[in-house]
Amino acid sequence: PIYLDYAATNPLDREILSKMMMVSTHYGNPSSVHKLGKNAKIRLERARELIADNIFVDPNEIIFTSGATESNNTVLESVSRANKNAHIITTKLEHKSILEKLEQDKNIEVSFVETDSEGLINIDDLKSKIRDNTKLITIHYVNNETGTIQPIKEICEMLRDTGILIHIDAAQALGHVPLDMSKLDVDYMSISGHKIGAPKGIGLLYIKSDSKLNPLIYGGEQERGRRAGTENLIYAHAISVGVRKAVRDFDERRATEQLLKNLFLSELNSLGVPYELNASKNVSPHIINIYLPFVTTDIMLTRLDLKDVYVSGGSACNAGTVQPSHVITDMYDENRANRSIRVSLNYMTTEDEIKKAATIFKEIYESLK
């Protein structure tokens, strides 16, 4: 099989797995006052420190969550509960964990900032949408469907001294685009473990030291009262190693991904497979979203699946069919979204896999022509 769906999830990294096995013997509850508990607590804090050191923040600014979905929901819930009728600005291109949460919360007024044909936000439009009761801007750092990288630094500069909080969903950013928090003046940031080789079910929320947070989950005093529930030491270590590797190997990974992306597109070109990039300007190297005029998303995914090439497009719905991507629909139209797919790779992808995948694209194209 050729796996080209790394933006959806990653396999468990072997180094992470061995770290998980190593810490698994420390089964004490970090809240217990006996030696076993204290030992687990010390180890939990070591994982937090490793993460903090690698993204240049203070360990107290990090909490462990169950994933980027929970991190995103926590920030929105926190802002909603702190204000009566909070106005929040976002884009229509967010992950569902932002859009659906906003949709559900009747206390939140939402404005959607304009995005251009590349999915990049229009900063002037963002400025014009700010109101007296604007409390938060929430925006993805890297789009999970197109790979588009948003100008977070410019947004932060524009919002400086306005008192408006900034949240970024960096689930697709870590390991693919530079992520130095000392250079980004954001209040909150979400990260997902399974996008960096840790298991599903662990994530991080960065909370700038002077920014408040109302918890989403109540109970014990874990995570300094910001997220209740006995901490998962094994998963905390898993994500800490994932973060360390993503940062340490960043240059190498990025170069590999860029090379593979270019290779895939040049292979499609030389094989004569017609396609158009849905986003091409400011795009992370691990995501390729293409419009294939000759085939619908559904059929292309099925044909590729039959050949054991795994990619994605749109979102799966109950009937087992694919609904057109809300991102591509918003950037273009439903017809284009119905004929677009996302190929996503990572540093583990090989040139051979890329060439084989391109050849299979060619075969499918020939058979449908």
Number of residues near ligand PLP (by CB under 6 A):
13
Q: Would you give the binding string for ligand PLP spanning residues 296-315, x where CB under 6 A is met?
A: --------------------
Cβ closest to ligand PLP, residue 28 vs residue 229: 229
171 within 8 A of 65, measured Cβ to Cβ: no
Q: Smallest distance, Å, CB 170 to ligand PLP?
A: 8
Q: Smallest distance, Å, CB 172 to ligand PLP?
A: 5
Residue 242 is a binding residue for ligand PLP (CB under 6 A): no
Distances (CA, A) of 134 to 159, 165, 271, 283: 11, 9, 51, 29
Task: Find the binder of ligand PLP among 16, 20, 68, 279 (CB under 6 A).
Answer: 68
* C-alpha to C-alpha distance for 12 and 78, rounded to whole angstroms: 32
* C-alpha to C-alpha distance for 127 and 134, rounded to whole angstroms: 11
Query: In sequence order, which residues have a C-beta less than 8 Å from that of residue 346 and are 6 or more positions away?
Result: 6, 10, 175, 253, 257, 286
* C-alpha to C-alpha distance for 342 and 290, rounded to whole angstroms: 6
The CA-based angle 180-183-188, given to 5 degrees, is: 75
Cβ closest to ligand PLP, residue 75 vs residue 164: 75
Q: Would you give the binding string for ligand PLP spanning residues 96-115, x where CB under 6 A is met?
A: -x------------------
Cβ closest to ligand PLP, residue 121 vs residue 273: 121
* C-alpha to C-alpha distance for 364 and 359, rounded to whole angstroms: 9
Q: Smallest distance, Å, CB 141 to ligand PLP?
A: 8
* Region of 64-72, 76-84, 152-160, 241-249 interacting with ligand PLP (CB under 6 A): 64-72
Task: Find the binder of ligand PLP among 19, 140, 244, 286 (CB under 6 A).
Answer: 140
Residue 353 is a binding residue for ligand PLP (CB under 6 A): no
* C-alpha to C-alpha distance for 46 and 127, rounded to whole angstroms: 41
Q: Smallest distance, Å, CB 143 to ligand PLP?
A: 7
Task: Find the binder of ligand PLP among 30, 199, 203, 324 (CB under 6 A).
Answer: 203
Cβ closest to ligand PLP, residue 140 vs residue 254: 140
Q: Which residues pair with 87 in a beta bridge?
A: 109, 134
Residue 227 is a binding residue for ligand PLP (CB under 6 A): no
Residue 349 is a binding residue for ligand PLP (CB under 6 A): no
DSSP state of 164: -
Q: How far is CA 177 from the centre of its chain?
A: 11
Which 250-269 positions form the footprint of ligand PLP (CB under 6 A)? Answer: none
Dihedral-angle region of residue 100 (phi above 0 means left; psi in -120 to 50 means alpha; beta otherwise): alpha
Among residues 35, 221, 317, 367, which one is catalytic?
317
Cβ closest to ligand PLP, residue 146 vs residue 172: 172
* C-alpha to C-alpha distance for 70 and 66, rounded to whole angstroms: 6
Strand-strand pairing, 86-90 and 134-140: parallel
156 is catalytic: no
Q: Smallest distance, Å, CB 241 to ligand PLP?
A: 17
Residue 148 is a binding residue for ligand PLP (CB under 6 A): no
For the purposes of burial, counting CB atoms within 10 Å of the CB of 367, is it exposed (0-12), middle (13-18) or buried (19 or more)? exposed
Task: Find the binder of ligand PLP among 90, 91, 144, 325 (CB under 6 A).
Answer: 144
Cβ closest to ligand PLP, residue 95 vs residue 245: 95
Which 153-182 positions form the footprint of ligand PLP (CB under 6 A)? Answer: 169, 171-172
Cβ closest to ligand PLP, residue 165 vs residue 168: 168
Q: Smallest distance, Å, CB 314 to ligand PLP?
A: 14
* C-alpha to C-alpha distance for 76 and 122, rounded to whole angstroms: 22
Helix, coil or strand: residue 83: coil
CA neighbor of 95 nearest in space, from 181, 198, 196, 168: 168
The H or E element containing residue 140 is: strand 134-140
Residues annotated catalytic, as ranges: 317
**Which residues bind to ligand PLP, rule: CB under 6 A?**
67-69, 95, 97, 140, 144, 169, 171-172, 192, 194, 203
